[in-house]
């Protein structure tokens, strides 16, 4: 039996290994253990008789972290996704609920670190290697498209799809059929009526802040079919919004998207007020072209379209005071 | 501002003297005592109190200070107009003191500059609950009263759209509903406020009540009002006739008409009164509301329309609503505009200081901790400087 430095740490590891790995692991762990002795007589029977059984004695094994150089190739240590190995990761990490002493347990034998997913196999160096490996299969990015604005200008339609890779009984994933198509309405050729109509048709698929129309199609079983369906929907929306139906003539004040001051009760009130104030000599057009009326109109339109805020109400107050000549 | 600190330092030494004097004197004698006191302790009283009793002479120098409404005016002008808690406060303190605040000053200055040969101008007081809309309205009404205007004050229009079980079909127009008790109550209070006008103004046409009863043309308006007070059945129609008469005669220029409605959002809101067929009444189907709406139009001149919104009594409105379009609704907003919106806010630091000193002066804050700086900070924190919340808090301590 070789001389062994008995470390209490190693003994605990030894116990774990003996439960987890089995004898084969044991053999691979200890380097100085001779297989021939085991094969002969279990190590206990000698020529003279039986020796007293003593516990296995192993040399202390130096963890790999000690032998690592600082400029080593990390992609060789973790070439693929693997669980956390404390002897292979040269970082003094602690994880878990603090022990009685007051600190989290260290990395040796820390189940918490083993449970969580790690991305030690996806360091920047590893990603670079992946990119280099993929490069022969790719073409150059067009040099003319060097900014985001140019991309949206020339290619306004953005199509997003997801592909799923997993290991299991089946390769298919039903979520892979979903296609999301985004188009900014400013890139479409729409006049005032067409724009209002397409927004009304699209309802919540249109976002006012970013001015994008988002169509999500998932009614067909295949991605290709869903993409074609989305393109069809866009075409139909565009052409329908340009058409003017007979019943659209009956659009009433309640259906309007924005508040219009022309022919509103507010305008009528102001005209009545001014007529009573100044007498009926002046015509309606002259009354409405006065600066106070314009200011009042602006204040009311802002209040109705953007809601009442302190600022809007103050502006309205000033406008009304001017109208009343106070 | 050093004055408040000076006051708080003076207060423990001066307060016992003040208390002794105030308890001995009655409300009327206070006016005689006040100048003497203000001469000897100018710092103390002039911070939160002013002796200027005419709202027409109030200006920015009086901002944040309390002025007293003479008791005679209170009884005549506000038989029903003041908030309930303020009425209790008047009884306790033996005086009606109102704080001069920016919204009411602004309104009064607008009224001073307005041209009364032009159509009536509309003003709407709005703000969060308890910030002083009704009190500001009362302040402005006191100004109008002092100037000799005819006051048409509807203290709470919401009283006419709820809590009424005895509404009956109108005899004048079968599609409308009368509210005899409410109408009579209002006529009684109207008479108290404007008695001196009712003998001078005459009716312009003949009103027929029944086969035997009629009010002739040229009779004093007082007879019209008495008809309403004596005959319960006709009281709502009398209110309508009265409003019509006042509207016509205000243009004459002999008097100015102040139409003051508190809780004006009731006119265009919903009611909780049921019709005969168990459906809910619309506001315009109630005679009183219908006639009041006619007054809100600006097709008459020679006066002003002063209104205040009210969220506390509003029916079916969210708790957070306080702005004009939220409470008036679309219809109400269209009918009321163009109006001058005036916002009431919680007390600022100076006004809070003033209110605190006033309560201390009146011995309302009995708790010893309220005299200290920490106690004051607690009050600021608990009430967030909201006038009504502060008043309710102080009534506990």
| DSSP labels, B309-344 | --SSS-SS--TT--SHHHHHHHHHHHHH-SEEEEEE
Q: How far apart are CA B117 and CA A144, in angstroms?
A: 72
Closest CA to B296 of B123, B112, B105: B123
| B113/A326 touch (CB, cutoff 8 Å), yes or no | yes
CATH code for the domain of B315 = 3.40.50
Distance from the Cα of A205 to chain B's closest Cα (Å) equals 29
**CA torsion A192→A197→A199→A200, rounded to 10°?**
140
Centre a 10 Å sphere on the Cβ of residue B96 and count the other Cβ atoms it contains. Answer: 24
Sequential DSSP letters for B20-46: HHHHHS-HHHHHHHHHHHHHH-HHHHH
Give the DSSP H or E segment for B354.
helix B349-361
| B239 touches B186 (CB < 8 A) | yes
Given CB atoms, is B106 within the 8 Å cutoff of chain A? no
Give the DSSP H or E segment for A213.
strand A212-217
**CA torsion B315→B321→B326→B327, rounded to 10°?**
40
Cα B272–Cα B209–Cα B188 angle in degrees, nearest 5: 60
What is the pLDDT, as a whole number, of residue A262? 82
Residue of B nearest to A273 (CA): B119
Which residues in chain B have Cβ-Cβ distances shorter than 8 Å to A303?
325
| B151 plus B230 within the same structural domain | yes
| B120 plus B262 within the same structural domain | yes
What is the pLDDT, as a whole number, of residue A6? 45
Given CB atoms, is A310 within the 8 Å cutoff of chain B? yes
Which residues in chain B have Cβ-Cβ distances shorter than 8 Å to A274?
none
Residues 43-82 of B with CB under 8 A from A: none
| B184 plus B301 within the same structural domain | yes
Which residues in chain A have Cβ-Cβ distances shorter than 8 Å to B119?
273, 276-277
| B164 plus B281 within the same structural domain | yes
- Residue B65 burial by Cβ neighbours in a 10 Å radius (0-12, 13-18, 19+): buried
| B287 plus B391 within the same structural domain | no
Closest CA to B53 of B39, B71, B76, B37: B71
| B232 plus B282 within the same structural domain | yes
| A212 touches A182 (CB < 8 A) | yes
Q: How far apart are CA B78 and CA B96, in angstroms?
A: 11
| B337 plus B367 within the same structural domain | no
Beta bridge partners of B339: B122
What is the pLDDT, as a whole number, of residue B164? 84
Task: Tell me the angle at which helices B349-361 and B387-394 cross, rounded to the nearest 10 degrees.
Answer: 30
| B110/A323 touch (CB, cutoff 8 Å), yes or no | no
What is the pLDDT, as a whole number, of residue A43? 64
Cα-Cα-Cα-Cα dihedral sign, residues A60, A66, A72, A77: positive
Cα B392–Cα B9–Cα B351 angle in degrees, nearest 5: 40
Residues in chain A: 326
Q: Are strands A179-184 and A158-161 parallel, antiparallel or unpaired?
A: antiparallel
Residue B338: cis peptide before it, omega within 30 degrees of 0: yes
Domains of chain B: total: 2
Q: How far apart are CA B181 and CA B164, in angstroms?
A: 9
| B262 plus B375 within the same structural domain | no
Asked whether residue B98 is assigned to any structural domain, the reply reads no
Asked whether residue B293 is assigned to any structural domain, the reply reads yes
Given CB atoms, is A176 within the 8 Å cutoff of chain B? no
| B302 touches B294 (CB < 8 A) | no
| B298 touches B120 (CB < 8 A) | yes
Q: How far apart are CA A287 and CA A294, in angstroms?
A: 10
| B379 plus B263 within the same structural domain | no
Q: How far apart are CA B238 and CA B234, in angstroms?
A: 6
What is the pLDDT, as a whole number, of residue B64? 87
Tokens 């603090």, residue?
Answer: A98
- Residue B97 burial by Cβ neighbours in a 10 Å radius (0-12, 13-18, 19+): middle
| A125 touches A98 (CB < 8 A) | no
| B379 touches B390 (CB < 8 A) | yes
Domain ranges of chain A: 68-133, 156-162+175-250, 258-324
Which residues in chain A have Cβ-Cβ distances shorter than 8 Å to B341?
313, 316-317, 320
Asked whether residue B124 is assigned to any structural domain, the reply reads yes
Closest CA to B189 of B241, B136, B225, B215: B225
The pair of three-digit structure tokens given for residue B253, joined into one six-digit string: 């220029």
| B104 touches B136 (CB < 8 A) | yes
Which of A265, A273, A316 has its CB closest to that of B341?
A316
| B170 plus B290 within the same structural domain | yes
What is the pLDDT, as a whole number, of residue A258? 81
Question: Is 3.40.640.10 the CATH number for A156-162+175-250?
Answer: no
Cα-Cα-Cα-Cα dihedral sign, residues A151, A155, A160, A161: negative
| B79 touches B85 (CB < 8 A) | no
Given CB atoms, is A271 within the 8 Å cutoff of chain B? no
Given CB atoms, is A280 within the 8 Å cutoff of chain B? no
Given CB atoms, is B144 within the 8 Å cutoff of chain A? no
| B172 plus B199 within the same structural domain | yes
| B225 touches B187 (CB < 8 A) | yes
| B314 plus B216 within the same structural domain | yes
Give the DSSP H or E segment for A314.
helix A310-324
Asked whether residue B62 is assigned to any structural domain, the reply reads no
pLDDT tens track of chain B, all 397 residues? 444 454 445 444 444 444 444 433 333 433 333 444 444 444 556 678 888 888 888 888 888 889 899 888 888 888 888 888 899 999 888 888 999 999 999 999 999 998 888 888 999 999 999 899 999 999 999 999 999 899 999 989 998 888 888 888 888 888 888 888 889 999 999 999 988 888 888 888 888 888 788 888 888 888 888 888 888 888 888 898 899 989 888 888 788 999 999 999 899 988 888 888 888 888 888 989 999 999 888 888 888 999 999 998 888 888 888 898 889 888 889 888 889 999 999 999 989 989 999 998 888 888 888 888 998 899 999 999 999 999 998 888 7
Count the helices and strands in chain B (H runs, E runs).
15, 11
| B383 touches B373 (CB < 8 A) | no
Q: Are strands B207-208 and B96-99 parallel, antiparallel or unpaired?
A: unpaired
What is the pLDDT, as a whole number, of residue A288? 79
Which residues in chain B have Cβ-Cβ distances shorter than 8 Å to A317?
340-342
pLDDT tens track of chain A, all 326 residues? 444 444 444 444 445 444 444 445 444 444 555 555 454 445 677 788 888 888 888 888 898 999 999 899 999 999 999 999 999 999 999 999 998 889 999 999 999 999 999 999 999 999 999 999 999 999 999 999 999 999 999 999 999 999 998 888 998 999 999 999 999 999 999 999 999 999 999 989 999 999 999 999 999 999 999 999 999 999 999 999 999 999 998 888 878 888 888 888 888 888 888 888 776 666 777 777 888 888 888 898 888 888 888 899 999 999 988 888 87
Distance from the Cα of A109 to chain B's closest Cα (Å) equals 55
| B187 touches B194 (CB < 8 A) | no
| A18 touches A26 (CB < 8 A) | yes
Closest CA to B324 of A261, A316, A294, A269: A316
Q: How far apart are CA A199 and CA A94, in angstroms?
A: 55
* A138 CB-near residues (< 8 Å, 6+ apart): none
The pair of three-digit structure tokens given for residue A228, joined into one six-digit string: 């074609």
Centre a 10 Å sphere on the Cβ of residue A106 and count the other Cβ atoms it contains. Answer: 15
What is the pLDDT, as a whole number, of residue A113? 95
Domain of residue B322, residue span: 115-343
């Amino acid at each position: 039996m070789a001389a062994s430095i008995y470390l209490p740490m190693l003994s605990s590891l030894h116990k774990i290994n003996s439960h987890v790995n089995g004898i084969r692991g044991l053999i691979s762990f200890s380097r100085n253990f001779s297989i021939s002795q085991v094969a002969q007589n279990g190590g206990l029977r000698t020529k003279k008789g039986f020796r007293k059984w003593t516990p296995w004695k192993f040399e202390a094994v130096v963890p790999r972290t000690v032998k690592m150089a600082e400029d080593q190739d990390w992609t060789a240590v973790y070439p693929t996704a693997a669980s956390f190995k404390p002897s292979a990761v040269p970082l003094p990490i602690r994880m878990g609920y603090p022990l009685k002493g007051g600190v989290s347990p260290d990395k040796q034998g820390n189940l918490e670190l083993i449970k969580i997913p790690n991305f030690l196999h996806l360091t920047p160096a590893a990603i670079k290697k992946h990119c280099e490996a993929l490069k022969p299969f790719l073409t150059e990015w067009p040099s003319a498209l060097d900014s985001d604005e140019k991309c949206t200008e020339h290619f306004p339609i953005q199509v997003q799809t997801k592909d799923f890779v997993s290991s299991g009984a089946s390769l298919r994933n039903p979520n892979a059929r979903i296609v999301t198509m985004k188009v900014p309405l400013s890139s479409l050729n729409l006049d005032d009526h067409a724009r209002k109509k397409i927004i009304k048709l699209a309802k919540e698929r249109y976002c006012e802040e970013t001015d994008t129309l988002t169509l999500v199609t998932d009614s067909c079983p295949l991605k290709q079919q869903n993409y074609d369906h989305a393109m069809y929907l866009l075409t139909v929306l565009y052409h329908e919004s340009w058409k003017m139906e007979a019943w659209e003539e009956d659009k009433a004040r309640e259906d309007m998207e924005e508040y219009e001051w022309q022919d509103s009760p507010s305008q009528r009130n102001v005209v009545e007020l001014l007529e009573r104030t100044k007498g009926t000599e002046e015509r309606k057009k002259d009354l409405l072209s006065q600066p106070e009326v314009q200011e009042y109109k602006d204040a009311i339109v802002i209040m109705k379209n953007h809601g009442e805020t302190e600022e809007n109400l103050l502006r309205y107050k000033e406008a009304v005071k001017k109208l009343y000549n106070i | 501002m050093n004055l408040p600190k000076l006051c708080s330092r003076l207060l423990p030494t001066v307060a016992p003297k003040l208390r002794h004097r105030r308890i001995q004197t009655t409300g009327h004698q206070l006016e005689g005592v006040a100048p003497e006191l203000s001469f000897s302790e100018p710092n103390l009283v002039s911070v939160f109190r002013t002796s200027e009793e005419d709202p027409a002479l109030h200006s920015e120098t009086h901002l944040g200070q309390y002025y007293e409404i003479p008791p005679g005016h209170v009884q005549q002008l506000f038989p029903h107009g003041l908030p309930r808690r303020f009425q209790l406060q008047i009884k306790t303190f033996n005086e009606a003191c109102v704080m001069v605040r920016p919204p009411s000053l602004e309104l009064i200055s607008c009224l001073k500059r307005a041209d009364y040969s032009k159509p009536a101008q509309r003003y709407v007081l709005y703000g969060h609950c308890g910030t002083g809309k009704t009190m500001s309205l009362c302040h402005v009404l006191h100004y109008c009263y002092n100037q000799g205007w005819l006051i048409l004050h509807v203290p709470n229009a919401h009283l006419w759209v709820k809590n009424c079980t005895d509404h009956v079909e109108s005899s004048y127009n079968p599609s409308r509903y009368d509210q005899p008790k409410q109408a009579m109550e209002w006529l009684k209070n109207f008479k108290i406020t404007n008695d001196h006008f009712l003998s001078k103004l005459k009716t312009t046409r003949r009103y027929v009540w029944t086969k035997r009863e009629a009010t002739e043309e040229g009779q004093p308006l007082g007879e019209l009002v008495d008809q309403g007070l004596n005959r319960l059945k006709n009281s709502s129609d009398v209110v309508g006739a009265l409003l019509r008469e006042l509207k016509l005669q205000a243009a004459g220029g002999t008097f100015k008409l102040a139409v003051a409605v508190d809780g004006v959002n009731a006119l265009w809101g919903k009611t909780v009164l049921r019709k005969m067929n168990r459906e809910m009444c619309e506001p315009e189907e109630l005679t009183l509301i219908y006639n009041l709406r006619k007054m809100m139009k600006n097709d008459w001149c020679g006066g002003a329309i002063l209104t205040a919104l009210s969220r506390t009594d509003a029916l079916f409105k969210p708790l957070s609503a306080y702005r004009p379009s939220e409470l008036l609704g679309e219809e109400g907003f269209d009918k009321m505009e163009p109006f001058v919106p005036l916002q009431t806010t919680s007390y600022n630091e100076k006004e809070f200081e003033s209110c605190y000193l006033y309560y201390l002066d009146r011995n309302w804050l009995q708790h010893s901790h309220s005299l200290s700086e920490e106690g004051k900070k607690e009050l600021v924190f608990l009430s967030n400087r909201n006038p009504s919340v502060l008043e309710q808090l102080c009534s506990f301590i």
